[in-house]
Chains A and B, each alone.
Chain A
């Protein structure tokens, strides 16, 4: 069954983002989910599908218990790390289009700042088993250290520079200052980026995303079940996920440059029936600045190796040809594993993005990236 336009994002919700929530991870999930349900004009008991983010200890049963749900028809995980929330949109769309569900909740909550550090949990994750056994004893622990050789090779092959990375960090920060629910509230300059301490060369501190406490959620509804809801319809035109070759170890990848999005993006564009020229705004997963640059290439906004000059042209600024990460992203708003990117894209397409609103935004895309290069993408449009 073709999935094109069979589902919509009917509701979005988020909590305050901070370094110290003083709430449980479950409470953050529930707060964001109730906000998304109210935003859609639904009642909690309308939810009949739940796709929780794996790995934070919250399961569908928690929602059944707290919301008193009587007839949940689907619970599943999409274990793609930072690509999970957008990949869950694909799973949710398949579920509503095939008639399994009417309203699927995709929630996340975490105490990434005040709880355990995101960066040091590799060993407990099966998708990092090879990394943990063979590279962790050498001193390669954290995503910053694992992704740095990809960025270094891109720099050596194509002339990409740290100043290109700085342009991504600075423009993202500028957008965060307009948001009102962003953890970073002071401007960043290229000079401050360049002089910030090195974490894992070539990554400086300001190339790395935040650690955050908070919750966010979206609801995917079957198109014909959403017509009478509160919000303008935001249709899902295209969606896809993709996995890199040798996903369990970047070192053993045939080529360090390709990522899952290289495979997923053409499929999503084909399903959507649009090209990159039709995209008014893009929310690009930004765990590290380099990861944004490489995804811009994978999406076709510029050629392979041209990401540096593309961002240096000013294209990604709020007033540029392709405004990206209009909420401040993981780099400057909060690290909600990209659920906040979906929330922001929906706001942009509804025309409710406040001071960061892109004029006449009608079609946009959101990506996810995680677990050493898994990729996901959703292309959305105001109906």
Chain B
């Protein structure tokens, strides 16, 4: 049962622990072949902050998010979670983290996907309980009870025994969120959690996310829901062509930014969302 520990083994350990930001991204770059998708990204997410990543399609939002839990390998720079380097050892030249260390890092970082990615052969309850048994080593009964509480928290206690195929998109996404919060992560990553939903189902998922934010969860959210970004986010980062073109409070980015790319993006957004 390892957690992200702050043992004094590296020069970076001084910034580990409570003093370290939840996420610290410094000079991160990433290419797919010759396509440079992230360019020299700097971003800090403090504890209990909600940071929204917005920007046009293909700007690198998903890639950046996936680098944070190392589903995507970044080429240059460093990403730290609670002071701990993501994906690599502290040595120079850096080496890949062992699978075991990578797993213990990931269990503190939850991820919610656009396509929910529930396991279709398991009921809602089994989906939530699975990692509790496999990763946290809980026994089946305890995991089941814990999973039931989590489903209750997202308002789906009644659907515990339903298979994903029988749930609406909004319900599936709430189960996916329950599956993540059951692991008691320190940080949650959301990649367009409402983009695959019918409009009338968006609200229920956003409400669950609002509740999480109110409970002090640290969240990085890639979204096209500008309303959510404006109302819930502490900070908004606008990505364009792999760079952070604007960063600040929602007011600073949405109302005070003079960055033409931001204005153009918001213009397009407003046009698309009005008749």
Real binding pair: no
